[in-house]
Amino acid sequence: DGGITQSPKYLFRKEGQNVTLSCEQNLNHDAMYWYRQDPGQGLRLIYYSQIVNDFQKGDIAEGYSVSREKKESFPLTVTSAQKNPTAFYLCASMQRGATNEKLFFGSGTQLSVL
Amino acid sequence: AQTVTQSQPEMSVQEAETVTLSCTYDTSESNYYLFWYKQPPSRQMILVIRQEAYKQQNATENRFSVNFQKAAKSFSLKISDSQLGDTAMYFCAFMIQGAQKLVFGQGTRLTINP
């Protein structure tokens, strides 16, 4: 079945540690996204990529980094510079130019600080 | 910058009742798309309904329909014959045509009571 796979489901970070969240899609979509969701709040865009080897900052990129070396993969690294990383992270993808453009989402990763 | 506002943080209705969730947005663009996404307790984001701004006809999907008022920049979601499985967070979202990224509202937590 086509879809987006995020791993791990739960992740714990120690102080000063970088952690990487995985996102893989087999939908053959060009564009991929990372959103952050805090309790009781909406989704805020961290980074997005419309094509391999290119990505753009979203609204809250500070303390995060990404790469897009393959069309299928868009990992997110939460660096030690992100002082409040506890949140639910959602990866999404979309096919550019489709007649009914819409976001497809993964099942999310809950990141907590130890 | 585009913004999406959902003025009802929480709503609660009895099973089988009809409920309407409000959403307003702010943009100077004329070509865009509007979405309602549902996030049940599993936290999986599910697309409920999608509307193209150039279409005057309101979108419908089974028990879900929208009231799209372009001049008022309003995009409400009506759920008819509500069911227990409709209990979820509902997010309104907006995307400028060609922009390739969605902006989300803060969400409305909807509870359907038996």
Write the residue in A31, A90, A94 that is nearest to B45 by C-beta: A90
In this structure, the strands spanning B60-61 and A54-57 are unpaired
At B102, which helix (H) or strand (E)? none
Q: What is the dihedral of CA A48, B50, A109, A61, to 10 degrees?
A: 30
Chain B hits for A92, CB-CB cut-off 8 Å, are 45
A88-110 pLDDT per residue, tens:
999 999 987 767 788 999 999 99
Q: Does A38 touch chain B (CB under 8 A)?
A: no
Length of chain A as a residue count: 114
Contact criterion met (CB < 8 Å) for A102 and B50: yes
> At CA B96, angle to CA B77 and CA B31, rounded to 5?
85
Long-range contacts of B63-66 (CB under 8 A, 24+ apart): B64/B36, B66/B34, B66/B36
Query: What confidence tens digit (pLDDT) does each residue in B24-67 have?
Result: 999 999 899 999 999 999 999 999 999 999 888 999 999 999 99
Q: B interface mutation test: which of A103, A104, A110, A111 has the most B CBs within 10 A?
A: A103
User: What pLDDT does B66 receive?
Assistant: 97
Opening angle at CA A64, ends B106 and A84, nearest 5: 60
Q: Which two tokens stand for residue B110?
A: 């909807």
Q: Is the per-residue pLDDT at A1 higher than 80?
A: no
Closest CA to B64 of B39, B45, B44, B37: B37
Q: CB distance B101–A40 less than 8 Å?
A: no
What is the chain B residue with the closest CA to A97?
B98
Burial A48-75 (b: 16+ CB within 10 A, else e): bbbeeeebeebebbeebbbebeebbebb
Confidence of residue A39 (pLDDT cuts 50, 70, 90): confident
Contact list in A for residue B40 (CB cut-off 8 A) is none
pLDDT at A15: 84
Largest CA distance in chain A: 45
| Residue A101 touches partner B, C-beta closer than 8 Å | yes
In this predicted model, what pLDDT tens digit does every residue of B57-104 receive, in sequence order?
Answer: 999 999 999 999 999 999 999 999 999 999 999 999 999 988 888 999
Please choose, from the candidates B21, B42, B41, the residue with its C-alpha nearest in 3D space to the C-alpha of residue B107.
Answer: B21
